[in-house]
Structure 1
C-alpha cells in the first residue's frame, strides 16, 4: 500500500491509499484469521465479527481501480475515489445474509456499491459487488406509517437504516458487477 494523490470530480485533490497485489495477498491472509476468530467466538456462543472496513474498501479499490480516502478532509464522506473519473464512492458491506446497513445523516456519494461477503448465505470466501442506483436509495420509503423516505430521514439529521440486500438487490433482481475470491 502506498499513499497517492487523486483528483475528485470537483477538482479537489485528496490523498488516499492505493493497494497492490501484495496487499491482496495480505487481505487473503487476514481473511483466514478473521474466519478463525469467528469460529472461536462461535464456539463460545458469541457472534461473529462483521466485515472489517479494510476488507470491503481495499477489495473495492483493487477491483475497481480506486483509492481509499480514509476520511481525508475534502473527500466528503467518500470511502474511495475512482482514479480514472474522480467519482466518490461509498462502499457498504455485510457478512450476514440479511444486512442492516446504516448511512450517516450527511453521507454523500457519486457511486454506491454493496460488497456481499455472504452471497451464498454464509461467508465462504466469495465477495460479490453490486452497483446500487442512488435513486433507489433516496426514494426508498423507510417508515410506512409516515411515508418517510431515506432522503426525508437524512434531511431530519437521522441515520437511515435498511437492508440493501433485501430492499434493493433482491427486490430488483440485481446481478453482481464483479466477483472476487479470497480463497
Structure 2
C-alpha cells in the first residue's frame, strides 16, 4: 500500500491508500484469520465479527482500480475514489444473507457498491460486488406508516437502515458486476 493523490469531481485533491497485488495476498491471509476468529467465537455461542471496513474497501480498490480515502477530511463521506473518473464511492458490505445496512445522515456518494461476502448464503471466500442505483436507495420507503423514504430520514438527521440484499439486490434482480475469490 502506498499513498496516492487523487482529485475528486469537485476539484479537491486528497491523499488516499493505493493497494496492489501484494496487499491482495495480505488480505487473503487476513481473510483466513477472520474465518478462524469467527469459528472460535461461534464455538462459544457468540456472533461472528462483521466485515471490517478496511477489508471491503481495500478489496473494492483492488478490483476497481480505486483509492481508499482513509477518512481524509476533504473526501466528504466517500470510502474510495475511482482513479479514472474521480467518482466518490460508498462501499457497503455484509457477511450474512440478511444484512442491515446503515447510512449516516450526511452520507454522500457518486457511486454506491455493495460487497456481498456470503453470495451463496454463507462465507466461502467468494465476494460479489453489486453496483447500486442511487435513485433506488433515495426513493426507498423505509417507514410504510409515514410513507417515509431514505431521503426523508436523512433530511431529518437520522441514520437510515435497511437490508440492501432483500430491498435492493434481490428485489431488483441485480447481478454482480464483479466477482473475486479470496481462496486459492
Q: TM-score range by the shorter chain?
A: over 0.9
- How far apart in 2 are the matches of 1:128 and 1:92? 12
1:36-75 matches, cutoff 5 A:
36-75=36-75
State the partner residue of 2:172.
Answer: 172
> What's the offset of the Cα at 1:177?
0.0
1:24-173 matches, cutoff 5 A:
24-173=24-173
> What's the offset of the Cα at 1:146?
0.2
> What's the offset of the Cα at 1:157?
0.1
- How far apart in 1 are the matches of 2:16 and 2:173? 33
- How far apart in 2 are the matches of 1:9 and 1:157? 25
> What's the offset of the Cα at 1:78?
0.1
- How far apart in 2 are the matches of 1:101 and 1:12? 28
- How far apart in 2 are the matches of 1:17 and 1:34? 22
Q: TM-score, normalised by structure 2?
A: 0.99
- How far apart in 2 are the matches of 1:74 and 1:20? 24
Moved over 6 A (4+): none
> What's the offset of the Cα at 1:128?
0.1
Q: Report how many aligned residue pairs link the two structures.
A: 183
Deviations 1:16-61 (CA, angstroms, capped at 9, x unpaired): 0000000000000000000000000010001000101111100000
Deviations 1:103-138 (CA, angstroms, capped at 9, x unpaired): 000000000000000000000000000000000000
State the partner residue of 1:10.
Answer: 10
Structure 2 residue matching 1:113: 3-state secondary structure: strand
Q: TM-score, normalised by structure 1?
A: 0.99
